[in-house]
Amino acid sequence: MADAVPEQTQSPLAQFEIHRWIEIPLGGLDASFTNSSLFMLIAIAAITTFLIGGMRRHAMVPGRWQSMAELSYEFVANMVRDNVGSEGRRYFPFIFTLFMFILFSNSLGLLPFGLLGPIGLHGFTVTSHIIVTFALAAVVFLGVTVIGIVKHRLRFFSYFVPQGVPLVMMPMLVPIELLSYLARPVTLALRLFANMMAGHTMLAVFGGFVVALGIAGIAPFVVIILLMGLEVVVAILQAYVFAILACLYLSDALHLH
Amino acid sequence: MPQLDPAVFSSQLVWLTISFVILYLVMARVVLPRIGDVIEARQDRIAHDLDAAASLKTEAETALAEYEKSLAAAHSEARDVLVQAAERRASDAAARSTKLDARIAKRVRTAEARIAAAKQDALDNLAGVAGEIARAATEKLIGAAPGGAAVTAALARATIELATNEKD
């Protein structure tokens, strides 16, 4: 029975494989165009189409599409205003880009691209790769740290010294604060990566059951339907969590507690 | 896990950088200003419309107050006119009734004078008639007519006696 199953669905982890479609050596660096690259381009194309298409009429009273475009704008704008304050306006485009990129990457992975299996394409979630989520988290972490140091100079390091604590405790507390600060990019990256990977692996596992069980596969099929709903929620929620944590870190750097 | 294969890291990082930077530029330069402009224009429009509505409301209230003021003025004017008319009518009526009273009084006086004159005439004639009757009666009784002067004197005496008796 396993012979009838397309090759890439044999292992639940096969969906995370990277296929080099066009080899591009960039100096000593491998910059090959892969299925991951394709999905990143699809994501930015979809975001741009969604937003520019929605705003094509500039209507005073928005239609459905324009409402959604404006809703995503105001959602992120409110998030930045509430968590960072007015100083956050400068960083709003970055947070917005971050949120939309993660949201669309997560959601695109849920679309049934597996139907295009015959032409060698399968669904792929850009954010299910630790290197991608870590790169995004690192940009946030480094950017926030640089912003904090530029704004506060040496006073920035007072962030690691808790206020109103006896001096005796300092040798213990400062390393803890420092460690929790340094752990931020790791937790930020791991949270998104783990959520995406776990969800997609589970979907693939149950998908394998549906095929393997034949008519009894209706049971895991129902589970997949339910899981799909959960995954949609997770896709949106994780984009939100990533963006709001970026806002909070930014706020910490700007205001120092 | 294919994700932990370092061989696939660099190409993903390169393409992530490319697509993220493109997306950032498109968002920051094109998309976000466009959405922001529309939202701002809408807020301005709403604020402007609210202002216009407020000023129209004030205008309407002023007009209403003016209308009520002129209505009250008209009311009091009408009342004044009515009062004046009533006063004029009352004074006219009073004057006319005074004139009428005077005329009636004059006529009454004339009539009274006429009555008094008639009465005097009658009384005067009464003395003559009484003298004639007394003379005729005397002539029948004694067969001789008394002189006019004697009759007149006797009548005068009788009249005074009568008047004295009437008084008692």
What residues in chain A have per-residue pLDDT under 50? 1-9
pLDDT for A178-210, tens place per residue? 999 999 999 999 999 999 999 999 988 888 888
Residue ranges of E strands in A9-58: 20-22, 25-26, 29-30, 33-34
Of B2, B13, B41, the CB nearest to A135: B13
First to last CA, chain A: 60
Q: How many domains does chain A have?
A: 1
pLDDT higher than threshold 90 for residue B145: no
Facing B31 at nearest CB: one of A13, A32, A51: A51
| Residue A7, pLDDT score | 47
Total beta-carbon pairs less than 8 A apart between chain A and chain B: 124
Q: Is the pLDDT of residue B122 over 50?
A: yes
Cβ partners under 8 Å of residue A90, min gap 6: none
Q: Is residue A248 part of a domain?
A: yes
The yes-or-no verdict on residue B116 having pLDDT over 60 is: yes
Identify whether A222 is part of a domain. yes
How far is the C-alpha of A81 from the C-alpha of A87, rounded, in Å?
A: 8
What range defines the domain where residue A92 resides? Answer: 31-255
Q: What is the ipTM of this complex?
A: 0.87
CA A69 → CA A48, A96, A105, B123, distances in Å?
Answer: 10, 12, 17, 132
Q: How close, in Å, is residue B40 to chain A by CA atoms? A: 10
Q: What residue in B sits closest to A197 (Cα-Cα)? A: B3
Q: Please name the member of A14, A51, A132 whose beta carbon is closest to the beta carbon of B16.
A: A132
pLDDT averaged over chain B? 89
Judge whether A14 lies within some domain: no
Cβ neighbour number for residue A45 with a 10 Å cutoff: 14
Phi, psi of B143 (to 5 degrees): 80, 5
The answer as to whether A10 is a domain residue is no
Helix, coil or strand: residue B61? helix
Inside any domain, residue A2: no
Alpha-carbon span B9 to A130, nearest angstrom:
9
Assess if residue A1 is contained within a domain.
no
Residue-wise pLDDT for B20-70, tens only, equals 999 999 999 999 999 999 999 999 999 999 999 999 999 999 999 999 999
Q: How confident is the model at residue B8 (pLDDT cuts 50, 70, 90)?
A: confident
Rounded distance, CA A176 to CA A26, Å?
A: 41
**Cα nearest neighbour of B3 on chain A:** A129
B38:A55 CB<8 A: yes
Q: Do B27 and A197 touch (CB under 8 A)?
A: no
A16 belongs to a structural domain: no
Q: Using CA atoms, how far apart are residues A114 and A123, in angstroms rounded to an integer?
A: 6
Q: Which residues of chain B does A133 touch, with a Cβ-Cβ cutoff of 8 Å? A: none
